[in-house]
Structure 1
Amino acid sequence: MDITIDFAPFFDAAANSPLTVGWFLFIRGGWIPVIVVILSTFWHVRLRNIRAAYLHHLSYTILAIDVPKLNEQSTRAVEQIFAQLAGAFSSGNLIERYLHGKNQESFSFEIVSLGGYIQFLVRTPTHFRDLIEAAIYAQYPDAEITEVEDYTGTIPRQYPSDEFDLWGTELKLNRKNAYPIRTYPQFEHTLTQKFADPMAALLEIMSHMHPGENIWIQWVVTPIGDGWKEEGIQVAKKLIGAHVKHSPTLTERALQPVRSVTGGASEVLLHGLGIAPFHEEGAAAKDMPSQIQYLSPGERAIVEAIEAKISKVGFHTKCRIVYVAKKEVFDKARGVVGALGAFSQFSALNLNSFEPAGKVTTKANYFFTTKRIAKRQRKIARAFRLRSKELGWGHGMILNTEELATVWHFPIAEVKAPLVKMTEAKKGEPPSELPIETGTLLLPYETAQDEIKAAPPENLPL
């Protein structure tokens, strides 16, 4: 049976104009991918809108946290607070996700300096307030937690502004999420066991703000599952020379049937010509032993650090830094350079570090700089005010509990930043002999108990 394909109509259409070719392809099945693209775009826009509406209709609470001045807890206590927040992870069922827009709620851990007055804050969905308070009181029984108003309402929403100027950015990792930053165990001297608190430099910069100046630092953390750890496993395997599993992309999966057909046809053709077909030695590569015994000490330390990171709970994280001040006191050298310099402490040259995301930083060069900077100022001010996990640069980064506790924790007793808000007195239980009211007299507790006791019988044998 002979199959004949007639290309004459196509060539006739091509001889006329590109529009004729396009119409020819469209009416002969080209409309299918167009409809697929339109429906896919509509679906994703709708899903994004209902997810944003779900988060918008939630009730939120901002809590100010004050710990005692003589804070003897280590940074590990804050790590336990973040670990406890993993219990808030909930993916929801299909109806909740795609019909009602349910998506994972976030928590915002913030350090703010309002004219040099420093406060630690947590913004939480109201239904998770008990979770936050329980996690903090479990590690800091003497802490004071107070609900406060949102401080972001004190600055304008539109820029440029006649009264205020604003600089802002988001931080990102300069390598893959699998590589950790420098964490708090590495700030402890191995011999003296003295902890050089990295928070000290940041709080010192923030305490030097003048009246009318503000530095706000925000860590928006979102509980996630364990799927992010697969990247770390693959990176570690690659470093030690082990076989790395390749996950085919959507395009590769779509083309797999075509590759199978063409591959089979080529083998038949090569056999007919008497040529042995070429096969990749994939099985031999899988059986190759790892090369970990040949790693240098530095390479081995990298592998161990990656494995240590993926061994702990991770969070999708966005970090925003905003320096906003009245124009007469606005000074980027004082408010910006010092804050960014404090974050360089967390850099590990062989692992990971933070860097500003250039696409959202309020900076522009060459053309239309004023309008471009004002647009970026409005965007980052809005993202900060909403504590958004979506707005801004990319998809953020993934930090584990140890990394989060390193960049956001209460200062230890040795940190002497003068304007950090802390509790002045320790709360305690009332004394056991506190007088209580019985009738019209105030009697000690023990005396009141004695009076209500029954008298012994008169005929008690002696």
Structure 2
Amino acid sequence: MIHEHEQTGITSGSRLKGSFLGPLFSFNLHSFVDDFWGNGWGISRCLILSIIFWGLFAVLGNMIPNLPLFAFEWLLGTAPIWLPVVLLVSAWKIWMWYIHSNYIFKRDTMLLEVKMPREITRSPRAMENALSKLWTDSGETTFFNTAWQGQVRPYFSLEIASFGGQIHFYIWCWRQWRPNVEAMMYAYYPEVELVEAEDYASKFRFDPETQECFPTDWRYEPRNDAYPIRTYVEFELDKDPKEEYRVDPLAEVLERMSILKPDEQMWIQIILTQCRDYRRNPKGPWWDIQDRYTNLIKDEIDVVRRESAPAKPNDREAEDSWKAVVRVPQYRLTELVKAMDRNMGKHPFNVGMRGVYISNAENFNSAGYTGIRWIWRPVGNPQYMNQMRPRRWGNPFDYPWQDYKDIRWRLMQRRFFDAYRRRAHFYSPWIFPHNMMSTEVIATMWHPPSSAIGAPGLERIPAKKAEPPANLPK
């Protein structure tokens, strides 16, 4: 996939409410429509752009007689030029949608539960190495594989689910990939057990009459994908400290999921596949493309480094001339660059994250859904890096005029559970925006917890059940 634009920053609605003149006189249509009206007052982009379009159309209609007839004749006369292109592009997209859906439908999937032992001594670095086993483009080797056979590269789902406070770790995969998943886990965590489990998402039936839920996703914000979150390296877990000195950000996540009431549930899903994103080379011809992950990080590192250098090195009278002789050890110029450079050298994945809080309707409250919305706050660093911010699904509904009699809310809930059960994120029928993350970032948010995490809902097995060695004499 070729990406034309990168995220440069997001303005929250709380900062824009009442600020009408700034976005208006900045002559930035994106800021005016999305930031002020969308984030600020909950007015959809479609409605605002429709009003602008029909307003301009009405003005143009007063200037050009018989404008509708003129527009129809113009479209009809130029149809031999644009119609074949539209039909060809549409046919190609429909074909790719069909063959990809057909291929995915034929995959036999399974859910493996990861049963944790009482003692796990390895740090998340072991999980980082294990995840590199899933970095594969198998199935998309040639154009024939993708465009005719409809093959897609494998995608996996790392999940944490709490049912009334009982926490379970899962790995979802295609059945043919079970040996690879077992090999990667047993190689670095020989104490754990992997057993096939019933798919809790497919078994669950949401009843809107008696239950309520709040679905959400998490995306990088406020910067682009070159800036990571705080990983286990920032928490010094890579140094394998003693158990009593471990500060694992996953502890707060599991503790929140452990204190659920019997009628409450929390699900977390991290869907990943090999990152093969590309972008156009900004310094080359339009047909020249380059790896998006590596080059985006390089560009952002250069931006940070230029901040430490004077704009005019030979001008000693400039305000920033001191930068030529003094290097202030700022976090942004030292630790941030180290973190970005370190993540650039690791396997990148396309990652989509979603979660949901479910409870009985009478017990549904803000404490429950706020807990799932901001459950990844321990790994956030919005001042210098990124944070995992809730963006889609239930989050945009702030005003009563956004949803008449909960019609959109119920539709959104049905769509969420369908996407969750399918583990769909990168291919039809559900394609959503994703982030690029390294194995270090993913391992921070999903790894077998050590005994330092004492969440009461985390069930642990006394010891791993081992089979006798295969090389025993018969």
Normalised by the length of structure 1, the TM-score is 0.73
What's the counterpart of residue 231 of structure 2? Answer: 183
Does structure 2 retain, via aligned residues, the 8 Å contact 1:78–1:139? yes
What's the counterpart of residue 197 of structure 2? Answer: 148
Gaps of 5+ in 2: 1-62, 277-290, 308-322
What's the counterpart of residue 167 of structure 1? Answer: 214
User: In the aligned structure 2, how far is the partner of 1:58 from the partner of 1:192?
Assistant: 42
Q: How far apart are residue 101 of structure 1 and its match?
A: 1.8
| Greater Rg by CA | 1
Residue 221 (structure 1) aligned with residue 295 (structure 2):
no
Residue range with higher mean Cα deviation, 291-300 or 44-53: 291-300
Identity of aligned residues (%): 26
What's the counterpart of residue 197 of structure 1? Answer: 248
Q: How far apart are residue 410 of structure 1 and its match?
A: 1.3
What's the counterpart of residue 408 of structure 1? Answer: 446
Deviations 1:152-182 (A, max 9, x none): 134335x6x1222111100000110111100
Gaps of 5+ in 1: 1-13, 243-290, 435-444, 450-462
What's the counterpart of residue 339 of structure 1? Answer: 372
Residue range with higher mean Cα deviation, 190-199 or 372-381: 190-199
Alignment of 1:341-356 (within 5 A): 341-348=374-381, 349-356=383-390
SS of 1:67's equivalent in the other structure is strand
What's the counterpart of residue 306 of structure 1? Answer: 340
SS of 2:187's equivalent in the other structure is helix
Alignment of 1:320-335 (within 5 A): 320-333=354-367, 335=368
Q: How far apart are residue 293 of structure 1 and its match?
A: 8.5
Q: Give 2:304's aligned amino acid.
A: L
Q: How far apart are residue 417 of structure 1 and its match?
A: 1.3
Q: How far apart are residue 64 of structure 1 and its match?
A: 0.5
User: In the aligned structure 2, how far is the partner of 1:389 from the partner of 1:400?
Assistant: 18
What's the counterpart of residue 15 of structure 2? Answer: none
Q: How far apart are residue 48 of structure 1 and its match?
A: 2.2
Does structure 1 retain, via aligned residues, the 8 Å contact 2:265–2:359? yes
CA change 1:15–1:427 in 2 (3 A) is closer
User: In the aligned structure 2, how far is the partner of 1:326 from the partner of 1:16?
Assistant: 60
CA change 1:218–1:71 in 2 (3 A) is same
Does structure 2 retain, via aligned residues, the 8 Å contact 1:60–1:124? yes
What's the counterpart of residue 252 of structure 1? Answer: none
User: In the aligned structure 1, how far is the partner of 2:417 from the partner of 2:396?
Assistant: 10
Does structure 2 retain, via aligned residues, the 8 Å contact 1:111–1:218? yes
SS of 1:185's equivalent in the other structure is coil
Q: How far apart are residue 66 of structure 1 and its match?
A: 1.2
Q: How far apart are residue 370 of structure 1 and its match?
A: 1.1
Residue range with higher mean Cα deviation, 353-362 or 100-109: 353-362
Residue 65 (structure 1) aligned with residue 114 (structure 2):
yes
User: In the aligned structure 1, how far is the partner of 2:159 from the partner of 2:169?
Assistant: 6
User: In the aligned structure 1, how far is the partner of 2:332 from the partner of 2:420?
Assistant: 38
Alignment partner of 2:456 out of 418, 439, 442: 418
Residue 125 (structure 1) aligned with residue 174 (structure 2):
yes
Normalised by the length of structure 2, the TM-score is 0.71
What's the counterpart of residue 410 of structure 2? Answer: 374
Aligned Cα root-mean-square deviation (Å): 3.1
Q: How far apart are residue 30 of structure 1 and its match?
A: 4.7
Does structure 2 retain, via aligned residues, the 8 Å contact 1:180–1:306? yes
CA change 1:405–1:363 in 2 (3 A) is same
